[in-house]
Amino acid sequence: MKIGILGATGAVGRQMIQCLEEQKIETEELRLFASPRSAGKAMQFKNQELHVEPVSAERLADLDIVLGAVSAELAREYAPLIVKPSAVFIDNSKAFRLDPNVPLVIPEINGSDAKQHHGIIANPNCSTIITLMAAAPIARISPIRNLIASTYQAVSGAGINGLQELTEQTKAVLSASPVNPSVFSAQIAFNCIPWIGSEDEDGYTSEEKKMQDEGRKIMHMPNMNVTCTCVRVPVYRSHSISFSMQCEQKITVEQAKEAIRGFAGVHLVEDGYPMPIDTSNQNDVYVGRIRPDHVFEGGLTMFCCGDQIRKGAAANAVQIISCL
């Protein structure tokens, strides 16, 4: 296959290069694209040195698969240059996720949906992927009726600039220098910001709406209700989610643990608890602290963590290639 990566110099794009190698995707040729600012920049793939190119219709023309790791605006702009009878665009942005003609895929949960594509496949929102990887094994016993989640999202979820902002602000605070937020809406060093995305009509942010809207589509559960609060925390990598869920039927803690143990890509933590520092730079989602919920009758409460650049983005997108 001839594969291209759009946004190869960013947090997700760089990780995609590594995931293509790790997942042993047969790659006849890999082409790397980014903004004109990065043209000519050298990057490593296997033992080769590849050079970043600016995007053009000609350079995209003969590729079989393009992995998208750019903004939603750019994904919409470039999609018509990519989509043709033999090419597939696997996009990480929010641009096409809710389009009824675009499969929204987590391979372990709904990998077969990928085959219904019409040229574009969307990778879901990162917190949604990590939460659903933890909830899906339980939902196989009985469909989810209600889910309440709070996220603790790492700064790298906002790309490379988010990582730099946390580092610079931490140094500034420690040296009593002024802090000037630009990527985040407030100071992120030594703080938590309960605001990710833009505001929707009913007071929820755009990031918070994704878990219900995308979750219903991925799980094929149109009646699943989700309330979500998204919080940015001063962690470099790996999103964490605390959530309570109620299924159509009562699920015991033992049933949930048994289901999670048998589900690919999810690791049950029984000794201790999942933490971002332990779950970064790997593809598995870690779930622990599973206990009966005190509000939802027959429900469960738990905590999960996963590397959102890997399973929440790059690793999931590369896995989708194997579903085609």
Ligand X SMILES: NC(=O)c1ccc[n+]([C@@H]2O[C@H](COP(=O)([O-])OP(=O)(O)OC[C@H]3O[C@@H](n4cnc5c(N)ncnc54)[C@H](OP(=O)(O)O)[C@@H]3O)[C@@H](O)[C@H]2O)c1
Q: Interface residues with ligand X (CB under 6 A)?
A: 7-13, 33-35, 37-38, 55, 69-72, 74, 92-93, 126, 156-157, 159-161, 308-309, 312-313
Identity of residue 269: V
Nearer to ligand X, 15 or 246 (CB): 15
Contact 146, 251 (CB under 8 A): no
3-class DSSP assignment, residue 126:
helix
Closest CA to 138 of 226, 212, 245: 245
**Min separation Cβ 55 and ligand X, Å:** 5
Alpha-carbon torsion, ordered 137, 283, 205, 273, to 10 deg: 70
Closest CA to 308 of 240, 238, 243: 238
Which residues belong to the active site?
A: 126, 239
**Min separation Cβ 143 and ligand X, Å:** 26
Nearer to ligand X, 52 or 260 (CB): 52
**Min separation Cβ 132 and ligand X, Å:** 14
Nearer to ligand X, 130 or 290 (CB): 130
Distance (Å, whole) CA 201 – CA 88: 34
3-class DSSP assignment, residue 151:
strand
Beta strands 48-51; 2-6: pairing state: unpaired
3-class DSSP assignment, residue 129:
helix
Distance (Å, whole) CA 92 – CA 198: 18
**Min separation Cβ 119 and ligand X, Å:** 18
Nearer to ligand X, 58 or 254 (CB): 58
